[in-house]
């Protein structure tokens, strides 16, 4: 954490840093070009300094730039940077080099469990974006500020100064893990687009006070070197809170999360995608996840799984009727060829099931195994959706907040 944030003026400063890297994507929109990461490997965000050095004089520009590629936005024509949200920062203990400033003064902020929101100007109008741009979640926040002119004016002031205000959108319509009872758009930070410097002084305080923008809660503590480890251990036992963010004067940050939140987030991730939930259920592993979920999510999952098994049972019953009909229409000492000739008269999709049944397979078991195999990809599941009679889960695709 002993490096200065890299100067970024245009997209041409960034593209060389991610050249030939599969972890990053360049998203072309009519209102902006967005650079974001999609997966994280050990080398996605390497140490920002050159090999052998840990000081600003030996900073590797491209490595430092990679840590900025989490939603950078550039003007589609001029290529100039128009939005610079948080740089990539890590959990306590995740990166050894991130521990170097623990003895220096820092603040402790509440970690909110929502979606990161930042604004841009499009055709003279304020538009809100998540990391991926103007999305459904961003539109929720946009609707929220439409009747709150103080947000619009605050955002306009920030954008006029070529700064990015970074918010967290927490809403019952956008629940990640923690359930918030009402909509709230909270300011987390203001960042200069070109330098990457985080504003914490008079500029920040004046804007916030003038426009009465709610800011993230600061936890009152007395920072000291050995405090962080003890604080991390205490945070692990928290419930109903995600955790905290440690913020140094130079803008660098560390996340400290509770075990409760980490476990619950993993559980919700496992049941948030339809194909993963179906596979988890049919392989008998759902019992390991359900106890970790809030009651409302648990009921939603149980209702979905009940519907799935009922529809598969209906398909299995139909297969049994087909099988019985074929057996009754051919000689008792039938050959496999006799059976095959009858199967060919039916729709091709039934063929594999009926041949498995003539070999002793149980209809419902065969259907379940087929659905499990179909859950490899969304495309394959879609091709085999007739086995669950069109039942669908409303998937929840959450974007990382910070």
**Residue 291 within any structural domain of the chain:** yes
Cβ(1)–Cβ(100) below 8 Å: yes
Task: Tell which residue, 95, 242, 231, has the closest CA to residue 168.
Answer: 242
Rounded Cα–Cα distance for residues 382 and 385 (Å): 5
Give the three-state DSSP class for 367: helix
**Residue 306 within any structural domain of the chain:** yes
Instruction: Spell out the per-residue pLDDT of the chain, length 402, in tens.
Output: 568 899 999 999 999 999 988 889 999 999 999 999 987 777 888 888 765 555 555 789 999 999 999 999 999 999 999 999 999 998 877 776 665 556 677 888 999 989 999 999 999 999 999 999 999 999 999 999 999 999 999 999 999 999 999 999 999 988 777 888 999 999 999 999 999 999 988 888 898 999 999 999 988 766 555 556 666 666 666 667 788 898 988 899 988 887 777 667 677 777 778 888 888 888 877 776 776 677 778 888 888 888 988 998 999 999 999 999 999 888 888 888 889 898 889 888 999 899 888 888 888 989 999 999 999 898 999 999 899 887 887 655 445 556
The per-residue pLDDT for 296 is 79
Cβ(399)–Cβ(118) below 8 Å: no
Identify the residue whose tokens are 């402790």: 108
Cβ(197)–Cβ(251) below 8 Å: yes
Residue 347 token pair: 């729709």
Of 48, 65, 83, which residue is a domain's last? 83
Task: Tell which residue, 381, 175, 387, has the closest CA to residue 276.
Answer: 381
Cβ(82)–Cβ(132) below 8 Å: no
Task: Tell which residue, 226, 256, 230, 231, has the closest CA to residue 241.
Answer: 256
Cβ(84)–Cβ(8) below 8 Å: yes
Measured from the Cβ of residue 257, the count of other Cβ atoms closer than 10 Å reads: 20
Q: In what order do the strands lie in the sheet with 81-83?
A: 24-28, 33-37, 72-74, 81-83
**Residue 351 within any structural domain of the chain:** yes
Cβ(111)–Cβ(245) below 8 Å: yes
Residue range(s) defining the domain that contains residue 364: 264-388
Give the three-state DSSP class for 229: helix
**Residue 271 within any structural domain of the chain:** yes
Q: In what order do the strands lie in the sheet with 106-111?
A: 90-91, 253-257, 243-248, 106-111, 218-219
Nearby residues of 94 by Cβ (< 8 Å), 6 or more positions away: none
**Residue 234 within any structural domain of the chain:** no
The per-residue pLDDT for 92 is 77
Nearby residues of 156 by Cβ (< 8 Å), 6 or more positions away: 126
Q: Where are the beta strands (DSSP E) in 157-227?
A: 163-170, 184-192, 218-219
**Residue 342 within any structural domain of the chain:** yes
**How far are the Cα atoms of 3, 10, 39, 321, 391 from residue 344, in angstroms, in the given order?**
69, 62, 45, 16, 28
Of 48, 83, 118, which residue is a domain's last? 83
DSSP calls for 274-313: HHHHHHHHHTT-GGGTGGGS-HHHHHHHHHHHHHHHHHHH
Rounded Cα–Cα distance for residues 26 and 18 (Å): 10
Cβ(312)–Cβ(371) below 8 Å: yes
The per-residue pLDDT for 224 is 53
Q: Where are the beta strands (DSSP E) in 325-367?
A: none
**Residue 79 within any structural domain of the chain:** yes
Phi and psi for 253 in degrees, rounded to 5? -140, 160
Identify the residue whose tokens are 């504003």: 199
Residue 99 token pair: 């521990």
Give the total number of structural domains in the chain. Answer: 2
Rounded Cα–Cα distance for residues 176 and 113 (Å): 7
**pTM attached to this predicted model:** 0.71
**Residue 57 within any structural domain of the chain:** yes
Of 54, 83, 112, which residue is a domain's last? 83
């Amino acid at each position: 954490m002993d490096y200065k944030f890299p100067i970024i003026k245009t997209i041409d400063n960034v593209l060389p840093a991610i050249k030939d890297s599969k972890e990053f994507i360049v998203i072309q929109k009519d209102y902006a070009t967005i650079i974001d990461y999609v997966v994280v490997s050990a080398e996605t965000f390497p140490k920002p300094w050159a090999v052998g050095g840990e000081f600003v004089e030996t900073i590797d520009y491209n490595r430092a730039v990679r840590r900025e590629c989490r939603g950078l936005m550039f003007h589609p024509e001029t290529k100039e940077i128009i939005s610079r949200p948080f740089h990539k920062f890590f959990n306590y203990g995740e990166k050894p080099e991130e521990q170097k400033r623990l003895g220096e003064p820092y603040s402790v902020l509440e970690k909110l469990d929502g979606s990161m929101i930042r604004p841009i100007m499009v055709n003279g109008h304020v538009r809100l974006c998540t990391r991926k741009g103007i999305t459904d979640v961003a539109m929720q926040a946009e609707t929220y500020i439409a009747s709150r002119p103080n947000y619009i004016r605050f955002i306009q002031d920030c954008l006029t100064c070529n700064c990015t205000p970074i918010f967290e959108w927490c809403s019952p319509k956008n629940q990640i893990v923690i359930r918030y009872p009402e909509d709230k758009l909270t300011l987390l930070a203001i960042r200069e687009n070109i330098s990457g410097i985080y504003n914490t002084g008079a500029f920040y305080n004046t804007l916030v006070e003038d426009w009465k923008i709610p800011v993230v809660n600061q936890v009152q503590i007395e920072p000291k070197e050995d405090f962080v480890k003890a604080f991390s251990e205490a945070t692990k036992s928290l419930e109903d809170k995600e955790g905290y963010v440690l913020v140094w004067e130079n803008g660098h940050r560390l996340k400290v999360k509770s075990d409760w939140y980490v476990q619950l987030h993993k559980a919700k991730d496992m049941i948030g995608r339809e194909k993963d939930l179906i596979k988890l259920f049919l392989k008998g592993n759902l019992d390991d996840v359900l106890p970790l979920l809030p009651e409302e999510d648990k009921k939603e999952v149980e209702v979905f799984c009940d519907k799935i098994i009922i529809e598969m049972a209906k398909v299995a019953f139909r297969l049994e009727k087909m099988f019985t009909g074929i057996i009754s229409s051919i000689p008792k000492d039938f050959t496999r060829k006799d059976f095959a000739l009858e199967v060919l008269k039916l729709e091709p999709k039934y063929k594999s099931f009926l041949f498995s049944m003539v070999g002793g397979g149980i209809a419902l078991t065969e259907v379940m195994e087929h659905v499990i195999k179909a859950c490899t990809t969304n495309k394959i599941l879609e091709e085999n959706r007739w086995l669950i009679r069109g039942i669908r889960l409303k998937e929840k695709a959450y974007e990382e907040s910070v």
